[in-house]
Structure 1
Amino acid sequence: ERPPRPAGTVTPAESPVAMDPDDVMRAVHGALDPADIVIASTGFTGRALFQVGDRDNQLYMVGSMGCASTLGLGLAIARPERRVVVLDGDGALLMRMGALAAIGLERPPNLVHVVLDNGVHDSTGAQESIAAAVQFPELAVACGYPHAGTLASRDAVADTIADRSPGLRLLHIRTRPRADRKLPRPDTTPDAIARRLRANLEATS
């Protein structure tokens, strides 16, 4: 039987505004450590990460909408010495909200769950999602995350991602729907990207 845990905390943002998605992705990418394992959700999230900079510690989910966070959970448990950063979307997270409960139960201290919330399913035509009805930080804390909050500026994004203090947390970032819809796709196959990440993991085991 698991012992009771203290309630998590939600850090509110001061006047949160929707930021430019490319600025946010550059801030995230620039603050990552080469030792991090990075899992990017399907659609424009993975393609935007690839556009900013491709690395062998990055995996771009293809098709498996909503599964990035649980893949990140498994990697965080399997490799506790490495930080795992999941780049999720609002629509993807809403597709599999049960992942929050699974992650909140396990509470891996090396997992950072980033939710890029633009309020739409951008890569399929920018149809409106139901994210406006959901408070992601409060939801994460209710599911067992020890800390969650909304980041309201590019500097806050960069500083928070660069902070390698241990502890599971959800970082909610509001972005605008994408104006430029011609994002490049990864120039190698999903299988090759998976093998590349596996080699990265084996090299540091």
Structure 2
Amino acid sequence: MSKTNLLDRRAVVASLLKDRKGMVAVGGLGASTNDMAAAGDHDRNFYLWGGMGGAVMMGLGLALAQPDVPVVVITGDGEMLMGIGSLATVGMQKPGNLSIVVLDNERYGETGGQTSHTSVAADLVGVARACGIADSRAISTMAEVEALVPKLHDLKSGPRFANVKIDGANVERILPMRDGTFIVNRIRGSLGFPPL
């Protein structure tokens, strides 16, 4: 794929979260969290701020605790590289309701835009497959994104992994709520649990 035909990150995330029903969405460090907020704040959005590398494990915990709720992790290539070992745990646990979507611009966007390993050698789809996530795919078109959306709501056929090649545009930051206690209690309430 030509570098000029890469997907718009905000359009990808908006498509993933459109008609989300009861899905819980975990946003990784930085830009992916901003992309989720830009698609619309929701009581089942879990925004991570300083936990680089932790988004997949957070999503795994939620998926295992709530097997009747679809959970999607939306994170970046830099964070996925940092937390790459989490894919082995997902592959071992095999939660049917978990989807992991990596927005891959081949850059470390939060630290200055340095080239990431995915631009040269790291094949995240190959790693996910090798870790036991059979439904692992590379996505480079909006048609492929749209085809993924219904699978995000399937509670049995996961886990799923998708690496979406996006452009490196520096878009306006849409900063969501930064009160962690509020966000946790809001999700707990939406799932029928009392606040902490």
- Counterpart position of 2:164: 173
- Counterpart position of 1:157: 145
Aligned-residue RMSD, C-alpha: 1.8
- Counterpart position of 2:132: 144
Deviates most, 82-91 or 16-25: 16-25
1:195 maps to which of 176, 179, 185: 185
Deviates most, 126-135 or 92-101: 126-135
Contact 1:118/1:174 (CA < 8 Å) preserved in 2? yes
Contact 2:28/2:76 (CA < 8 Å) preserved in 1? yes
User: How far has the Cα of 1:188 moved from its partner?
Assistant: 4.8
Contact 1:119/1:129 (CA < 8 Å) preserved in 2? yes
Q: Which runs of 4+ in 1 moved over 6 A?
A: none
Residues 104-115 of structure 1 mapped to structure 2, 5 A cutoff: 104-115=91-102
Q: Does 1:37 align with 2:24?
A: yes
Contact 2:94/2:133 (CA < 8 Å) preserved in 1? yes
Distance 2:169 2:187 in 1: 28
Instruction: Describe the SS at the equivalent of 1:27.
Output: helix
- Counterpart position of 2:10: 22
Listed as ranges, the gaps of 5+ residues in structure 2 are none
Any idea what the Cα deviations from partners look like across 1:87-143, whole Å, max 9, x if unmatched? 021000101111010111101111011111011111332122111211111110100
Deviates most, 158-167 or 127-136: 158-167
Contact 1:62/1:190 (CA < 8 Å) preserved in 2? no
User: How far has the Cα of 1:178 moved from its partner?
Assistant: 2.3
Contact 2:10/2:38 (CA < 8 Å) preserved in 1? no
Contact 2:137/2:163 (CA < 8 Å) preserved in 1? yes
2:81 maps to which of 94, 97, 115: 94
Deviates most, 20-29 or 184-193: 184-193
Distance 1:146 1:25 in 2: 23
Q: Identical aligned pairs, as a percentage?
A: 29
Distance 1:126 1:113 in 2: 23
User: How far has the Cα of 1:146 moved from its partner?
Assistant: 1.8
Q: Does 1:183 align with 2:173?
A: yes
Distance 1:111 1:81 in 2: 11
Any idea what the Cα deviations from partners look like across 1:153-203, whole Å, max 9, x if unmatched? 1122122122333321101100011232x3121145222111111111226
Give the length in aligned residue pairs. 188
Deviates most, 36-45 or 124-133: 124-133
- Counterpart position of 2:108: 121
User: How far has the Cα of 1:73 moved from its partner?
Assistant: 0.6
